Structure 1
Amino acid sequence: MQQAKDAKFATAEALCELSKAAFNLQKHFEKNLSCRDAVHEAGETGLVFDMAMLEGLEKSLAAIQFDQLPASLVRLALILSSSVTQLRMKVQVAIRLHREMDAAAFDDFFETLKKITASLDLTIADIETEMRKIKGP
């Protein structure tokens, strides 16, 4: 039973680290895609390295076995994974369609990036709160 508990704690710690990495990567995208010109430039370059990091993070989150997480972290892991997937999809669409985007599409893109950042910030805080509970006194 102790081994199972240790395995769940290790998986929870990994989730916590992945959440911090997701937040840092999100902030990177928000900073580097902060205006129309930056999005157009990204559309020309494709953000190959940044997208590879994002896709790698998404795969790492998908590889987490939810039955290896404490129950209190399952919902948060799903929210985190969903946020990262939403970020990838939104950035891919902006990169692919940057020339066809109108003002409303750019506004939506920038607003979505801000919302994802806020969501990740709250999710990390919740994960850290749960981790403190799991660790105990």
Structure 2
Amino acid sequence: MKWEEYAIEDLRKYKYLKGSLENIRERIKVLELKYQSVKYATVDKVPVKGGSSRIEEYMLDNIVERQRLEYLYEANKKLVELIEKGLKKLNEKEYLILEKFYIDRPKKHIEFLSEKLGIEQAQIYRLRKEALYKFTVNMYGIVEY
């Protein structure tokens, strides 16, 4: 079942994706500041035979890196929104189970959940599977055939 692998992968990446949103924005700001400072710098040399100067190459590298980061930011933001959409549809017990299995997994997570929820370990695995299915359907939707 591929859907299960994708859902687990998304949940495991979730907190890192959220953190990346702030970091990517900061990196873009730094690149914008560097670009502005280079624009006002003196020209290092005149290009020869259609070549480019080091400053022009630096500026082009800067533009490309900023654009790539913008694309990455938008993709990560959309994925975070989808994951949160799936998580919001879970009840407290389902959320806790998925959180402790995939998002913020402590040592002895099964024992932790068993004690916290007052249920047997076998039931935790069954509830995890149900919660994962519910999360996936709410995140991606489902097509009825």
- TM-score with structure 1 setting the length: 0.42
Question: Which has the higher Rg, Structure 1 or Structure 2?
Answer: 2
Structure (1/2) with the larger helix percentage? 1
Larger RCO, structures 1/2 (Cα 8 Å, 6+ apart): 1
